Amino acid sequence: MAASQARRPQPMSVETVQEARRQIEICNACRYCEGYCAVFPAITRQTAFADGDITQLANLCHNCRGCYYACQYTEPHEFAINLPRALAEVRTDIWKELAWPSGFGRAYDRHGMAIATMVVVCLCLLAFSVSSLQPAAGEGFYAYMSHGLMVAIFAPAFFLPLLAMAVSVRRYWRNVGGGAVTWRAVACAFHDVATMRNLAGGQDQGCNFEDEDRFSNARRVAHQLTLWGFLLCFASTSSGTVLHYVFDMPAPYGVFSLPKLLGIPGGLMLSGGTLWMVRLKLQAGDGLSDARVRGGDMAFVVLLFAVSTSGLLLYLATHTRLVPYMLTFHLATVLTLFLTLPYSKFVHGFYRLAALIGNVQRAR
């Protein structure tokens, strides 16, 4: 479209964008994969692709890989089409370029597991040191670490990364030429996210992520378990906050309280979903994704698993001598997750949601 040609160039690798544009133009001429996901109908709506258009298409891609195994122009054909990898590399570049503050993201991609492990260990040591200076007060977990200390540590660690991600997504929206957001576009985008529609394949038979040309809904179900488990855990924490500050009902809470009724199923879903995703990532080939970020991607999923599983084990350890150790490890994993959010795979949810909203508005 003419308006997109006038947009400001993206701060990405020129070679990465040019290669993605070359492959997209070939796909636009072929159109064999038009029904596979949201990417291909979006491609057919225009004939020229500015840098902002390439960024938008890259964030629409869910890396289901169905198009690759259906394509007749993959290697050894001279066109050498590998659209999943080309778009994955564009996504990586734009996420890191738009990250705020920038710099840490690329290091996390290369050494994600090492960084996450080091931060967790350091935070465990720090928590032990701080808690040893605090007199025991309160019930439950507050007997080991006061409520005020938890708030002082976790409130900034939660809200500052959210601010950083909000700045990054706003930059993305401006770079792809996003306009005023409509409620219809938001509703459609949330529906697609909730159902993982773009991981269902063209005929709702799943994607080809973990086993080449065999269709499977495993990745879709694992993502849904992870998403809804995370949301239930967040709702559990939020309900506990409301009970504490609004109704003057501090923790600990019984098994039939709202925080536990939300948190226990959420923790089980999140643990199961992330463990399943680790297995799928290990099965999937490296040639159809951006190998540069494999360490960071795996670190994020493993960290989510550690957060949810340590939370469940902490609950099971109630009234035992293991509580101070499990509490320290759980809080360290949660804090590490918060601190790395703007640079981890977590941001893909916000960028993809923005891309889906923009896709609905462009299709009008």
pLDDT tens-digit map of 273-305 = 999 999 988 887 678 888 888 878 888 999 999
Burial class of residue 63 (count of CB atoms within 10 Å of its CB; 0-12, 13-18, 19+): buried
Question: Percent of the chain having pLDDT more than 70?
Answer: 84
pTM for the model: 0.85
Range in 78-92, 182-196, 239-253 the model is least confident about: 239-253
pLDDT tens-digit map of 204-221 = 677 877 666 678 888 899
Residue 183 has pLDDT above 70, yes or no: yes
What is the structure's pLDDT at 104? 65
Catalogue all structural domains in the chain, each as residue range(s) with its CATH number.
2-98 (no CATH), 104-363 (1.20.950)
Instruction: Provide the residue count of the chain.
Output: 364
Residue 348, token pair as written in the block: 């893909």
Q: Distance (Å, rounded) from C-alpha 171 to C-alpha 95? A: 10
What is the separation, in whole angstroms, between the first and last Cα of the chain? 14
What is the structure's pLDDT at 100? 74
Q: pLDDT: is 159 or 139 the higher one? A: 159
Range in 32-41, 132-141, 336-345 the model is least confident about: 132-141
Three-state secondary structure of the chain: CHHHHCCCCCCCCHHHHHHHHHHHHHHHHHCCCCCCCCHHHHHCCCCCCCHHHHHHHHHHCCCCCHHHHHCCCCCCCCCCCCHHHHHHHHHHHHHHHHCCCCCHHHHHHHCHHHHHHHHHHHHHHHHHHHHHHCCCCCCHHHHCCCHHHHHHHHHHHHHHHHHHHHHHHHHHHHHCCCCCCCHHHHHHHHHHHHHCHHHCCCCCCCECCCCCCCCECHHHHHHHHHHHHHHHHHHHHHHHHHHHHCCCCCCCCCCCCHHHHHHHHHHHHHHHHHHHHHHHHHHCCHHHCCHHHHHHHHHHHHHHHHHHHHHHHHHHCCCCCCHHHHHHHHHHHHHHHHHHHHHCCCHHHHHHHHHHHHHHHHHC
